[in-house]
Amino acid sequence: MRAPARVGPERPGPRGAGAWGDGVAVTRADVAALAGVSPALVSYVVNGGPRPVSAEARGRIEAAIEALGYRPNAIASALRGGMTRTVGLLMSSPVNPYFAELAEALLRELAEHGNTLSIAVTDGDPQREVAHLRSFLDRRVDGLIVASAEAASTVQRLQSDPVPLVAIDRVDDAAQVSSVTIDSVDATRKAVEHLQGHGHRHIGCVTGPRPLVVSAERTTGWRLQQAAVGAPTGDALVAYAPFSMDGGREAALELLDVRLPVGDAVRPTALFAASDVQALGVLAACAELGLRVPDDVAVASLDGTQVGRFLQPPLTTVRQPIPEIAHAAVDLLLRRDAAPGAAPVHMVLTGNLVVGRSCGCGA
């Protein structure tokens, strides 16, 4: 096979620079020439279609992109200059009602300032997270809002030129990232305390995946409130699961196993779900097991999304102040844009209990 022709200087510029060593911007044609393919094939690889590319050709193209440090929008960005009036939002799930309402609130806030919102969904995939963040940075978005501390750390590793960034999650105090979050420990305690007020002691905890800070905080809140009244706090009452309906269902089936009680174990008479989306799965699990909510199992959760009002029974939950979170995040982002060197700001908001009938109230 004929080796692909090489164009330009023999020594390309630094990786990610988007230019040859002499300062000339790398183009799609340069990548095509180095890979020995047509510019159209380069476009298909970069844009994910619309036509398939063979594995062999894709490998050559990706190697050429890596060697040249090509960034697809380098020229367009240089010609455009100035602000894009676009903010990128990275979130894990479009079907989680919390993220759906958060995105809607951010859209409204940004529109008031003449900005648009570009949304990317990771589905919890670290590789997809990196790809989306690279895309945002390559498109020169004016700022980024990320819904996890992990994504905030990834942005800081990827960016060469600082981009205003706000995390809607708790971040390390040493991190140079502003953040807006709810006091998850306090919010969880409110929900669990309400269940305790109905006479429940064996309250199970359906929480998020172990690596996440928010999962640990909500589990901590459950333990603290249970301990405050001398109620059980053992690991047998905790189930870790994804923040999804399937996750909530599987966790509830585990905690409400009909084979209990066995030995010292006692099946929970109430469940706290660390998110509304998990609570949807909890209600489904109760129905599968023939358990009535709240007569057999009381349920309370954290998020306070609108979907909870329309469940049967309506969900008792601690509402996150989503409009206030969106307002604060956009305000912090604009502040970081106006004063890039300013110290990061960490805002912690509080949630309020919204009483439905899933806890036993009104039953």
Query: According to the model, what pLDDT value does residue 118 have?
Result: 94
Q: Looking at residue 139, what is its pLDDT?
A: 82
In tens, the pLDDT along 101-131 reads 999 999 999 999 889 999 999 888 888 888 9
Return the DSSP state at 55.
H
69: pLDDT confidence band, cut at 50, 70 and 90? Answer: confident
- Positions of E strands within the chain: 86-91, 116-121, 143-146, 165-167, 178-182, 203-207, 238-240, 270-273, 298-303, 316-319, 346-349, 352-354
For the chain, domain boundaries:
1-81, 84-181+322-350, 184-320
CA distances from 326 to 32, 114, 333, 339 (A): 43, 15, 11, 20
- pLDDT at residue 259, as a whole number: 55
User: Domain 84-181+322-350: which CATH class?
Assistant: alpha beta
pLDDT given at position 19:
40
Q: Domain 1-81 is of which CATH architecture?
A: Orthogonal Bundle (1.10)
- Cβ atoms 319, 352 nearer than 8 A: yes
DSSP-derived pairing of the beta strands 298-303 and 346-349: unpaired
pLDDT tier at 233 (50, 70, 90 boundaries)?
very high
Query: Is 184-320 the same fold as 84-181+322-350?
Result: yes
Q: What percent of the chain has pLDDT over 90?
A: 56
Q: How far apart are the first and last CA of the chain?
A: 77
**pLDDT reading at 244 higher than 90:** yes
Question: What's the confidence (pLDDT) of residue 208?
Answer: 95
Lowest model confidence (mean pLDDT) among 10-14, 45-49, 90-94: 10-14
Is the pLDDT at 2 greater than 70? The verdict is no
Q: 56-67: per-residue pLDDT in tens?
A: 999 999 899 888
Other CB atoms within 10 A of residue 123 CB: 12
> Per DSSP, what are the bridge partners of residue 207?
240
25-39, 107-121, 122-136, 165-179: the lowest-pLDDT one = 165-179
Instruction: Tell me the per-residue pLDDT of 315-357, one tens digit each, with 9 for 90 and over.
Output: 999 999 999 999 999 999 988 777 777 888 999 999 999 999 9
Nearest Cα neighbor of 300 from 359, 243, 248 is: 359
Q: Can you name the CATH fold of 184-320? A: Rossmann fold (3.40.50)
Strand 203-207 with 316-319, pairing? unpaired
At 44-56, the pLDDT tens digits run 887 666 678 899 9
The pLDDT assigned to 237 comes to 95
Task: Please tell me the predicted confidence (pLDDT) of residue 256.
Answer: 93
pLDDT tens track for 213-232: 899 999 999 999 999 999 99
What's the mean pLDDT when you consider all of the chain?
Answer: 85
Please tell me the number of Cα atoms within 13 Å of 102 on its side-chain side.
Answer: 29
pLDDT of residue 230: 97
Give residue 15's pLDDT band: very low, low, confident or very high (50, 70, 90).
very low
308-321 residue pLDDT tens: 999 999 999 999 99
- Residue 297: CB partners within 8 Å, gap ≥ 6? 256, 268, 269, 270, 271, 286, 291
